Amino acid sequence: MIADFESRAQRTRAGYVPDGDAELSEWGKERVAIPASEWFPHTSIPAVVDERVVAGRTFIVHPEVAVGEDPVRQAGEMLQFYGPRTVEELRRLLPFDDIDRVLSDLVDAESLVRGPLVADDERIHLCDADNLETLIRFQRAAARPVFEARPATDFAPYLARWHQFGGTRSPERIGDAVDRLRGYSAPVAYWLDDALLPRLSDGALDGLEVEGVRWRGTSAETVMIGFEDDLDLLPRLETGDAPAPEGDLANDHHAALFRDPRARYTFNQLLDESGEAPETFNAAFWDAIWRGRIAADSFSVLAAGRDRSFRFEDVASPRSAMARQSGQAYASRRHLRTRMRAKAMAVSRGWPGTWYRVPDRASASDAIERLEENKDRSRILLDRYGVVTREAANREGGALRWAALFPALRVMELSGEVVSGLFFEAFSGPQFALPQAVRQLERLNTADATFWVSALDPVSPCGLSLRIEGLPQRRLGNHLGYFEGELAVVSESFARRLTIHLDVDDPALDALLPNLARICAARKRLTTETINGEPARSSPYLTALSRHLATVSDHKGVYLESRF
């Protein structure tokens, strides 16, 4: 038990070893002084780290650490990486003089616990107080039945349960859904069409701002949602040397347009203040949005932007409307003029809503603050997945990538906030889970999991390199349908290619295919070219499709149209 604990605390356990000189250097600083015998096998010591001989023993020390400057504090920090040790062992371990006084001071401060702490060993040991609590917790956990790892194919059904798919819209359920999705970065179209529907049965983003939910740009036509404190934890996009479009906003002079950095302004107010041509200003305006430098109070502007491809247009112009409709003809020019006059009366020039400048956020000033911030970021992923793996963290990327969060997760494991183990097969490295997620896994019945989800959703297994056969690429327009825990339907490129793992007369089709009708209603028409790799126009699955959609065939394929 003690050896297992120390392999985690000292990061010698497989998957825990720091990666690269930068991590190893920081690790040397954290450990204060590492006995040379405890350095990682087959791992070179970074050039920036020193090897020092103290009291006849060799230690690995970061040059910023002044060993002996404060022996009591430094000894306490070193002992945070060990289990119980005898005084004789500690004399060999610690690079200080007068070890007895140092240990006595730590015991008096209640940083160390002294006593017969090791089973079947009558000798007196000393142990860091927090570490002793961790060891007791590990001992209790070891007495519980061993958890049997789930196959990787259970990951999506588990997550569907974790995200409470199939709920109905209410303020409480909105809060639960946002807790799972906060800080998640995805295309605007995903948020508008796919994010909330499986969770709330109503996919509309309207009204989320009333619950305190905000959005912020992360890259081109991509945003994340969350509460203000969550979004502040995730640094905005930095584009390095990439040239910015012309215009004040993109060149970081946009702050001058917000005369009061705490006030809200309309698009037209900012446009007038800039003095730019509307088209030029609009390009810089949206570039600043995607960089996370400005945002709006409402989600409705995202829908308006998507409808107009985020371009500035005079909405009263029939030519603009025709371009937005991508050449789709209206019944007559008279109908077009009537439609556009009505729309021009309802929509003003520019963009709706009020806009604010996202304040700059100061970076953490020291290692302790950085660790606490990474704990909070880890909690975002733990809320999202319940079980955090290397693959899931790296799929998120940025400030949520595995290398950035692993040290915090390791500390959270030792404090008892999370547990580690093998919860799912096929993932690499350690897995960290919330205790309530483990309890849910123990009770999981995948037969209850029937759902439809975007390939971009965090519930989707796409992009995790799990080698699950038949998964589509993780991109917009691809969807997966699960029936009773099994992957049953894959729709790619908005149903251009369908793969159906069910018999043509399976009743499960009627549980999943209505989701295509919903997509069709939003896009007016879907074109299906192949079903299970064969031409769609001769597929036996057309009968099932026709129960939910109007189907029209020609020599190119099958057209699916909504009946509503």
- Shared domain for 130 and 10, answered yes or no, is yes
Q: Residue 51's CB: how many other CB atoms inside 10 A?
A: 12
Residues 5 and 131 reside in one and the same domain:
yes
Task: Identify the CA nearest to 484 among candidates 160, 151, 150, 152.
Answer: 160
Residue 393 included in any domain: no
Any bridge partners for residue 115, and if so which?
125
pLDDT at 239 over 50: no
Same domain for 261 and 136, yes or no, is no
In this prediction, residue 373 has a pLDDT band, given cuts at 50, 70 and 90, of very high
Interstrand relation of 530-531 and 497-500 (parallel, antiparallel or unpaired): parallel
Check pLDDT > 50 for residue 259. yes
Shared-domain flag, residues 5 and 134: yes
Q: What strands lie across the sheet with 50-54, from one edge to the other?
A: 34-35, 57-61, 50-54
The full 3-state SS of 389-400, as one line of letters, equals CHHHHHHHCHHH
Residue ending a domain, choose from 301, 332, 360: 360
- Containing 189, the helix (H) or strand (E) segment is helix 188-193
In a domain, 519, yes or no: yes
Residue 72 lies in a domain: yes
- Shared-domain flag, residues 464 and 355: no
Alpha carbons 141 and 95: distance in angstroms, whole number: 34
Nearest-angstrom CA–CA distance, 55 and 412 = 34
Q: Per-residue confidence at 524, pLDDT binned at 50, 70, 90?
A: confident
Do both 264 and 139 map to the same domain? Answer: no
Same domain, 122 and 258: no
Q: Please say whether the beta carbons of 384 and 164 come within 8 A.
A: no
Per-residue pLDDT at 109: 96
Q: Are residues 356 and 471 located together in one domain of the fold?
A: no
CA distance 132 to 448: 41
Q: Classify residue 215: in a domain, yes or no.
A: no
Whether the predicted pLDDT of 509 surpasses 60: yes
Least-confidence region, from 170-179, 298-307, 341-350, 502-511: 341-350
CB–CB of 488/553 below 8 Å? no
Which tens digits make up the pLDDT trace of 418-473?
A: 999 999 999 999 999 999 999 999 999 999 999 999 999 999 999 999 999 999 99
Residues 355 and 456 in one domain: no
Q: Is the pLDDT of residue 288 over 80?
A: yes
How many domains does the chain divide into? 3
Task: Say what percent of the chain tops pLDDT 70.
Answer: 90
Of 112, 143, 174, the position where a domain reaches its end is 143
List Cα–Cα distances, 22 to 29, 77, 317, 398, 400, in angstroms: 11, 21, 57, 17, 18
Tokens of 533: 């790799």
Query: 331 in a domain, yes or no?
Result: no
**In Å, how far from its chain's centre is CA 295?**
20
pLDDT by residue (tens digit) across 377-420? 999 999 999 999 999 999 999 999 999 999 999 999 999 999 99
| DSSP, res 424 | B
Residue 111 scores a pLDDT above 80: yes
Q: With bands split at pLDDT 50, 70 and 90, how would you rate the model's confidence at 304?
A: very high
Q: 547 Cβ partners below 8 Å, 6+ apart?
A: 510, 513
Q: Any residues with CB less than 8 A from the CB of 263 and at least 6 apart, and which?
A: 356
Q: With respect to residue 165, please indicate whether it lies within any of the assigned structural domains.
A: no
| pLDDT(250) > 90 | no
pLDDT for residue 237: 56
Query: Angle between the 367-385 and 402-415 helix axes, to the nearest 10 degrees?
Result: 90
Identify the domain containing residue 501 by its residue range.
Answer: 446-562
∠ Cα 23 137 34 (to 5°) = 30
114, 143, 172 — which closes off a domain? 143
Q: What CA–CA distance (Å, rounded) separates 537 from 559? A: 9
Domain-located, residue 128: yes
Strand partners of residue 335:
none
For residue range 120-161, what is the model confidence (pLDDT) as tens digits?
Answer: 999 999 999 999 999 998 888 887 777 899 999 999 999 999
For 344-369, give the secondary structure using H, E and C: HHHCCCCCCCEEEECCCCCCCCCHHH
Residue 462 lies in a domain: yes
